[in-house]
Amino acid sequence: METKKKNTKQNLKILSRFLKGSWLLFAAAILSAIVSALADMLGPQIIRMAIDNVLGGAEPTQPKFVLDLVERIGGMAYLAKHLWIMALAIVIVAIVKAVSQYLFRVSDTKASETLVKTMRDTLFNHIERLPYAWHGKNRTGDIIQRCTSDIDTLKNFVSEQLTQVFRIVILVVLSLIFMLRMDVKLTLIALSLMPVILIYSFIFSQRIEKGFEEADEAEGVLSARVQENLTGVRVVRAFGRERREMDRFTEQNESYTNLWIRLARVMARYWCSADVLGSLQVMLVVIFGAVRCINGEMLAGEYVAFITYNGMLIWPIRMLGRMIAEMSKAGVSLDRIAYIMSAEEEKPSEKGLTPPLDRTIEFDNVSFAYEDSPEMLHNISFRLPAGKTLGILGGTGSGKSTLMALLNKLYPLPEAGGTITVGDVDIRDIDTGYLRRNIGMVLQEPFLFSRTLRDNIAITRPEMDLEEVREVSRSACLDETVMDFAKGYDTFVGERGVTLSGGQKQRAAIARTLAQKTPIMIFDDSLSAVDTETDAKIRAALKTHFAGSTVILISHRITTLSQADTVLVLDKGRIAELGTPDELRSAGGIYQQIYEIQTGLAELQEGGPHAG
C-alpha cells in the first residue's frame, strides 16, 4: 500500500511536469466547460417559468433577483403577452452554450496537442540521457510503444475526461439543488439507484485496470517483435525464416487480440448494466413524477424541468463507466511512462574537468562486471603513450569492447574497480560530454542513419563542406566507391545503411569518426568487413593524416595489428600478453598461434598439403 501511494505521488508529479506548458489552455477549457454547464442549468428554468408562472399563473418561487429582473421587464403578465422574450432568452442561453462549447473544443485541442508535444520532447530528451546499460535492458519496440500509444492514451484521458470533471460536478451539484428545491421526495427516488451504480462501477474498475495493463504490455511485446523483424528483415529473408517469423507474429498478435476482446467483454457488461440501471432510474422518475403531477403535488413546468435535470444527473453517472475505463487505461499508461521518467539519467562528472586528451592513457588495476553477471575484466593494467597505436587481440567475450566502453564512460567504472586516467586525470573527473567528443569510436556494428551518405559522414560536424567530406572519405578508402554512385554523396543509404555493403558501411563509419579529428580514436573490429588491401590502405592513411592521434585497434586479424606499437592480448578478461608485434610473434603464446594459423605457417610446419 505504501509503495502504491509513493508511485501515485511520483506519477502525479510527473504529470504536473508534463502539464507545465499547457495548464493555462486546460484552465481555459475547464472555464468554458463550466460556462456551458451553467447554460445547461438555465434552459430548464426558463421553460419552467414559461409553463408554470407565465402561462399557468402559478405563484413564482424563483430567487428574488430573478423576480426583480422580471418586474423590470414588465412582470409576468407582460411576458405572457410577449412570449418571444422567453424564446429569445432560450436562444441567448443556447448561443452562450454554443460559444462556450466552441471555446472549450479549441482550448482543449490546443492544450492536448501541446501536452503531447511536451511529453514526447521530455521523454525523448530523457531517453537520450539515460545510461548505456539501461538501453541494453529495454527493448526498442517497447520504448517506442510507451512513447506513442501510452502518450496518446494519457492525452485522451486528460483532454476528454479530466477536463469534463468540473462540468460534470457542476451539472450534478446544481441539478441536485434544483431538484431538491422542486420536489424532495422525487429527488430521493432519483437518487435511490445511485449507490448501486457507484459500487458496481468501483468493482468493475479494478478488472478493467488489470485487463488494460495486460493488453498494454502485450502491445509492447508485439511492437518489439515488429521492430526487430523490420530491422532484421534481410537476415530473416537470407535464412528463409519468413514462415517462422510470421507464425511467431501471428501467435503474439492473436494473444494481444484475445486480451482486448476479453477486456471489451468486461467493459460491455459494465456499460450495458450501467445503461439498464440508468434507464430504470429514468423510468422511476417519469412514473412517480407523473403520479405527483396528477395528484396536484407537482406543477407541469416543474415536472418538465425535473426530468431535464434528472437527465443531466444521470448522464454523468452513465458516463462513469467510460471515465473509469479511461482512468484505468490512463493510470497504466502513466505507470509505463513513469518507468522511463523515473530511470536515473547518466550522472555528470562532479568536477567536470576538461583537460587536454592528447596525453598518455593508463589503465591501473581495472576490474569490471556487468549488472548481475560475473566479473568480465580482472586487474587490467597497461600504459598507452600519446600518439601511439595499441592493438588489442582476444577471443569472443574476452572483454575487448568492454575495455573501450569503460574508457569512453559508456559504463561507469566502480570506485573499487581501479582507475583509468588520461594525462594523469581520472576519467571519473572528466566532463563526460567533453570526453566523448574527443574520443572517436567506430563500433563493431556500424550504425548509419536514414539520411544521405554526406549527412552520415558529417553528422558530428554539420558545417563540413563537400571537399572536407571527400577528404576523410579518401582516408577511409570510400571516396572512389561513392563517386561511382549515381548521386554520389547525396545517395540515400536507407535505414541502418541497408543499401550499402558491410565494407561500405564500415568505411562510412570510419570516415565519420575521422571527421571528428579527435586526439583518441578507437576502431572496434571495424575493419573486419574490408579486404586486407583496403585494410592496409586505411591504416596507412591513419598514420599519414592522423599521426598525432592515439589509436586503439581491436581486431581478430593479425595483419591489422602488425603495425601497432604495442599489442595487448586478452584471454578471459585478463592480460595474457603485452608487447610489440615482433616480440609476440615468437613468444609462443596466443598471438603466435593466431599469427601462424592466419599466415599458413602452422599448416606448413605440420606437413600439410602445401608442404614441400
- Distance CA(438)–CA(43), nearest Å, equals 72
Residue 131 in this model has a pLDDT that exceeds 70: yes
485: cell is 554512385
pLDDT per residue as tens digits for the range 517-559:
889 999 888 776 677 777 778 778 777 777 788 999 988 888 8
3-state secondary structure of 589: coil
- Distance CA(182)–CA(211), nearest Å, equals 43
Among the residue ranges 9-23, 243-257, 535-549, the one predicted with the least confidence is: 535-549
- Distance CA(301)–CA(112), nearest Å, equals 41
pLDDT per residue as tens digits for the range 459-498:
888 888 889 889 888 888 888 888 888 888 888 886 665 6
Query: Among positive and negative, which fits the CA dihedral 489, 492, 493, 495?
Result: positive
3-state secondary structure of 241: coil
- Distance CA(189)–CA(183), nearest Å, equals 10
pLDDT of the residue at 5: 56
Domain with CATH 3.40.50.300 in the chain: 446-517
- Distance CA(17)–CA(12), nearest Å, equals 9
Residues 291, 186: contact at Cβ < 8 Å? Answer: no
Distance of CA 1 to the CA centre of its chain: 27
Q: Which residue has the higher pLDDT, 540 or 361?
A: 361
Q: Which residue has the higher pLDDT, 602 or 468?
A: 468
Residues 236, 242: contact at Cβ < 8 Å? Answer: yes
pLDDT per residue as tens digits for the range 368-410:
998 878 889 999 999 999 989 999 998 888 888 899 989 999 8
pLDDT of the residue at 580: 92
End-to-end CA distance of the chain: 81
Residue 234 in this model has a pLDDT that exceeds 70: no
Cell 466552441, located at residue: 102
Residues 310, 285: contact at Cβ < 8 Å? Answer: yes
Domain with CATH 1.20.1560.10 in the chain: 2-341
Among the residue ranges 242-246, 553-557, 589-593, the one predicted with the least confidence is: 242-246
228: cell is 526487430
Contacts for 110 with CB less than 8 Å, ≥ 6 apart: 22, 25
pLDDT of the residue at 602: 46
2-341 has which fold?
ABC transporter transmembrane region fold (1.20.1560)
- Distance CA(597)–CA(557), nearest Å, equals 11
pLDDT of the residue at 238: 66
Residues 31, 129: contact at Cβ < 8 Å? Answer: no
Look at strands 550-554 and 520-524 and give their pairing.
parallel
- Distance CA(455)–CA(168), nearest Å, equals 54
pLDDT of the residue at 68: 78
Q: What is the mean pLDDT of the chain?
A: 82
Q: Which residue has the higher pLDDT, 388 or 299?
A: 388
- Alpha helix ranges (H) inside 129-193: 132-137, 140-156, 165-182, 184-191
Q: CA torsion, points 363, 366, 372, 373, in degrees to nearest 10?
A: 90
Residues 218, 259: contact at Cβ < 8 Å? Answer: yes
446-517 has which fold?
Rossmann fold (3.40.50)
Q: How many CB atoms lie within 10 A of CB 243?
A: 8
Q: What is the mean pLDDT of residues 326-331?
A: 78
93: cell is 442561453
Helix axes 83-128, 140-156, angle to 10 degrees: 160
pLDDT of the residue at 604: 54
Residue 145 in this model has a pLDDT that exceeds 70: yes
